[in-house]
Chain A
Amino acid sequence: MPIIDSESILIVDDERLVADTLREALVLQGHHCLIAGTGAEALQCLRSTNVALVLLDLRLPDMTGIEVMHAALRQGSDPDILIMTGQASAESAMEAVEGSTVGYILKPIEMSRLVGIVRRVLERRRLAHENTRLQFEINQRLKETEAVLAISKASSSALGTQEALRRICRELTRLIGADTGAVYLHDAGSDQLMPLAGYKVPPELLPALLATPLPLKEQGFHAAIWSQRRPVMSDDVAGDPRFSHELFRLFKHQSGLVLPLILDDKVAGAFYLAWWTERRQLSKRELGLMESVAAQATGLLRNIRLLEQAERERGRLDVLYEISRRLAAARDSKSVLARLVDEASNLLGVEAAGIRLVEGGDLVLAARTVSAARIMAKARIKVGESLSGHVVASGEPLQVSNLDADDRYDVEHKRGAVEHGFQAFLGVPLRLHDRVIGTLNVYTKRRREFATDEVSLLSALADQAALAIHKARLLADAQAREREAIQLYEVTSLLASSLDTDWILDQIYERAVNLLRCDAFGIHMPDPARGGLTLRRGFNLPAELEDNLVLKPGEGIVGRALESRKPAWTRDHLSDSSLTYAPGTDDLIRARAPRAYLAVPILIRGEVLGVLTSYFFEPHDFSENEIRLLATLADHAGIAMDNARHYEHERQISQMKSDFVSFVTHQLRTPLAGIKWMLELASQEKDLPAEAGSYVQDAQAAAQRLIGLVNDLLDVARLERGKLSIALQPVPLRSLTQSVLEETRLLVEEKGHRLELGGDGDGPVVSADPQLLRQVILNLVSNAIKYTRDGGKIEIEMREADSEGRWQIRDSGLGVPAAAQARLFEKFYRADNVTTLETEGTGLGLYLVRLIMEQLGGRVWCESVEGEGATFMFTLPRPTETT
């Protein structure tokens, strides 16, 4: 682009005087003038100097002015030409003007006219130049505007970061006229510029370009980009110490521009533009343009990042929602946890994830992604061991961004992860009710700092996992409780169904293993012959234990339960120093007993009937539930065994009673019958002295009384034991009463009583056993006769009332004191006042009456005012149609 100020005016004339004169005049006007005497000189001058206007004489020594003009045009010089000519050669001048001259001036030259022409020519030329420059500028702006428009379009479109930045890179490359371009994004974890896309990168170089991150810190241009955030340009990349990375050697080019993308005061990425061969330098304006485009791209990047973040948030919410929805439906935690670790690895963009749960002092693997199989290989580790253990022990999220370099945590345990190429770790605790129940871990093969929102996302997933586990545990718990309750119910119903101790023990040991889910089970019972508890029943226990184990109070867990009368347990007897044994027993237990056991005494009223023991072959922490369950079983066992004991006792007593009844029956009745019969024979002897006859009569009465007493006792015994066979049938009360009165007639007559049987006909018919009812009526009639003073009055009445037959006997006797009425029907009870009249009563009669009435389904009672006689009544059901 010619610069007017530095242009000169060339005067070509072989007449030196003329040339000088012209120069003088033009210099006066402020122009810079050169002089050439020949055509060759003029052409030479045009080549080496910027000449705006040539004042050209047509006649020169070596060539014509026309020739010079054409030669100048040929050699690419571009001055305006003013032909100077004499009158004589006006034709030539005309000819010249037809060329590309601005005009001609006739010699002798009129100076003022020349100056005017020169000024107009130069002015026109300046305008033309200005015009050209403006034209160029307008074109340039147009190109830029197009580029920026394209960039804006790229920025505002819904393209992903990569595609948008690739397009911006393309536009930048075109705009600045570079040969090729690439775009990088900054990775915070590694502090490197990671290649994202290239434009017009030769195919053979593209893989290397895309595989090679630029470590920002190692680059010479870092300082400029980092602290000043300015572009870095070099027109000699190979020789520029700032471009030290091997990529610049591999990727041979002349000029290069690093254009940083600054986001929130940080380098978010960069464009790299390259020129293969051109030594390119950028004007201030170009640099400014580049920076403003970079700023646009940064805006784009921000928008995209926000969009991506929003997308990610939405994705996370979707996943969280989906997970919690699944949780609500899931019945087992396993599938939920498996899905959860998959989601965790997807959401955080990591390669592996897993969950460990606290179980006692251990951390047990609960779920892991397939890829985590190598790093979370052990099914069980200790709390405190490894990174997981740290998370659980501290209850805080833990991240390690460079596992290889880290030496703060368990070096031994992270080695697996490092060996398999994992670089970074993030673990968050699983919390339930302020308790850490496990850890959710993610591992990635990139060095990486996890952002705060990523940590909180993982924590949200961990919360979900904890909830899932909690829910599954509650469910499993409820199911287990239900199963236990059913099994317990079955066992206890079974136990309650039997009164045989051996059978009860069989049931307990056969079912306990299933109920308690233990490995083995034992029932220890006191064995006085061997001086301690021995195994009466053993399930899954070594024969040596069953045969040889004898435990004394306080010895081992079983002895402790026996002594303390409380449940006792050990998670592992081999490491439990609180347990003591007799020397031989010690060896036996160490060699043979399962590792963990729980012993619960079978207690009844403070007495230990035995000890139930559940065993596990491996160390085991007994839960409250297990203890409660075994204790419940022991309670029921105790009750069942106690019942069996009582039953056996009852049975023996019952047998004794039965034996006694047989004894009384036979051993008493036989001599009584002998006495009775012999007295009867004696009383029939002729010639018996009257005195002796009366003795025999008294003896007969005494014998009869004794026989009656024995009969009553037998009846009571049989009725009390419910052994009496009862034959219910319709019984007419009146005829039965009459037959009893026949039997007692003599007695009534003896005492001078007046006895009335009221009513007529058959009287009510009741449902009863005639033998037993006869006994009732006999007893009541006898009592009325006995406890009424001689010459008394006795009335018997009977009637039907509703569905019952009612019978009553009223006497004019002593009556029953109010206090005695309630107790009158008790065994061996006699009212105080009766002994004044009759001493023979046994107190069994009315008791028998009551027992019989109860057996017959009737009711008997007494109404009396002492001294005014008594009324005894009974009611009995009338026979139904079927009887």
Chain B
Amino acid sequence: MTPEPKRLLLVEDDRVLRRACEASLRRKGFHVTIAVDGRAALDELEAWTGPLPDLILLDLLMPRLTGIEVLRALRADPRTKAVPVLILSNSSREQDQAQIDQFEIAGYFVKSNLSLQELGEHVARLLGD
């Protein structure tokens, strides 16, 4: 029997990156939900039906609500506080370090230094495949 596909929530404001990411992860068999910015991500989770996503891929620099603010909201909500989050940033880690250190996260990657292949492998590893 084919296992239930893992559910991912991809939060990314850049259309091209969002598209590439989504395509690559879908090809690998993940169920990908899209949010175009932080606010949209929280709205999506608010309206979420069924089991919560297995992993959230979260950009940091976004309009309306930044990744850090989303992370803070997720961790403050008992419903979402245990959902693992993988940070996909385009800043340098040092710039973000101070802010993300206060949260438990599943990983941190700089998008331009990461291939889609590597991303897929990391996600699979995180989700126990």
Contacts and interface: CB of A to CB of B under 8 A. Distances in A.
A677 interface: yes
B115 A680 contact: yes
Interface stretch (A279-287, A501-509, A663-671, A840-848): A663-671
A455 interface: no
- Interface size band for A: 20 to 34
A676 B112 contact: yes
- Interface size band for B: 20 to 34
Interface stretch (A248-256, A419-427, A718-726): A718-726
A702 interface: no
B94 interface: yes
B14 interface: yes
A714 B116 contact: no
Contacts of B117: 680
A710 B95 CA distance: 16
B24 interface: yes
Interface string B87-99: 0001110110100
Nearest to A700: B115
Interface in A596-648: none
Interface in B68-127: 90-92, 94-95, 97, 110-117
Interface string A652-677: 00000000011001100111111011
A72 interface: no
Contacts of B20: 674, 677-678, 680-681
Contact of A711 (B23, B97, B113, B114): B113
A662 B94 CA distance: 11
Given A665-B90, A676-B115, A718-B92, A681 B16 contact: no
A714 B113 contact: no
Interface in A713-743: 714, 718, 723-725
A714 B92 contact: yes
A678 B115 CA distance: 10
Given A673-B112, A707-B112, A665 B95 contact: yes
B17 interface: yes
A710 B92 CA distance: 11
Contacts of B57: none
A669 B17 contact: no
B21 interface: yes
Contacts of B34: none
A725 B97 contact: yes
Contacts of B91: 662, 665-666
A707 B114 CA distance: 10
B97 A669 contact: no
Contact of A677 (B27, B94, B110, B116): B116
Contacts of B94: 718, 723-725
B36 interface: no
B61 interface: yes
Contacts of A681: 20, 23-24, 116
A766 B60 CA distance: 35
Contact of B90 (A661, A673, A725): A673
A725 B23 CA distance: 36
A670 B111 contact: yes
Max chain B Cβ within 10 angstroms of own Cβ: one of A676, A710, A718, A723: A676
Contacts of A666: 61, 90-91
Contact of A710 (B61, B112, B114): B112
A670 B17 contact: yes
Contact of B112 (A662, A672, A725): A672
A707 B115 CA distance: 12
Nearest to A703: B112
Contact of B14 (A670, A676, A710, A714): A670
Contacts of B113: 707, 711
Interface in A189-228: none
Contacts of A678: 16, 20
A666 B92 CA distance: 9
A768 B95 CA distance: 21
A666 B24 CA distance: 22
Nearest to B111: A673
Contact of A665 (B17, B21, B92): B92
A669 B112 contact: yes
Contact of B17 (A674, A711, A724, A725): A674
Given A666-B61, A669-B110, A711-B113, A677 B90 contact: no
Contacts of A714: 92
A670 B20 CA distance: 12
A670 B90 CA distance: 6
Nearest to B19: A678
A555 B56 CA distance: 73
A555 B94 CA distance: 57
Nearest to B98: A725
Contacts of A723: 94
A724 B101 CA distance: 16
A672 B20 CA distance: 12
Contacts of B21: 677
Interface string B52-70: 0000000001000000000
A673 B20 CA distance: 10
B110 to A, nearest CB: 7
A677 B17 CA distance: 7
Max chain A Cβ within 10 angstroms of own Cβ: one of B21, B24, B113: B113
A714 B27 CA distance: 33
A724 B92 CA distance: 10
Nearest to A714: B92
A662 B61 CA distance: 11
B14 A674 contact: yes
A680 B90 contact: no
A883 B55 CA distance: 36
B116 A680 contact: yes
Contacts of B23: 681
Interface in B11-38: 14, 16-17, 20-21, 23-24, 27
A670 B24 CA distance: 17
Given A665-B90, A680-B117, A681-B24, A673 B17 contact: yes
Contacts of B97: 725
Max chain A Cβ within 10 angstroms of own Cβ: one of B27, B110, B112: B112
Interface string A496-530: 00000000000000000000000000000000000
Contacts of A672: 112
A599 B17 CA distance: 67
A711 B92 CA distance: 9
Contacts of B61: 666
Max chain A Cβ within 10 angstroms of own Cβ: one of B17, B92, B111, B113: B92
7 contacts: A665-B91, A670-B14, A673-B17, A674-B20, A680-B24, A681-B23, A681-B116
Given A662-B91, A666-B61, 15 more contacts: A665-B90, A665-B91, A669-B111, A670-B111, A672-B112, A673-B17, A673-B111, A674-B16, A674-B20, A677-B17, A677-B20, A678-B16, A680-B20, A711-B113, A724-B94
10 closest residue pairs by CB, A with B: A677-B20, A674-B16, A673-B111, A669-B90, A673-B112, A669-B112, A672-B112, A707-B112, A680-B116, A665-B91
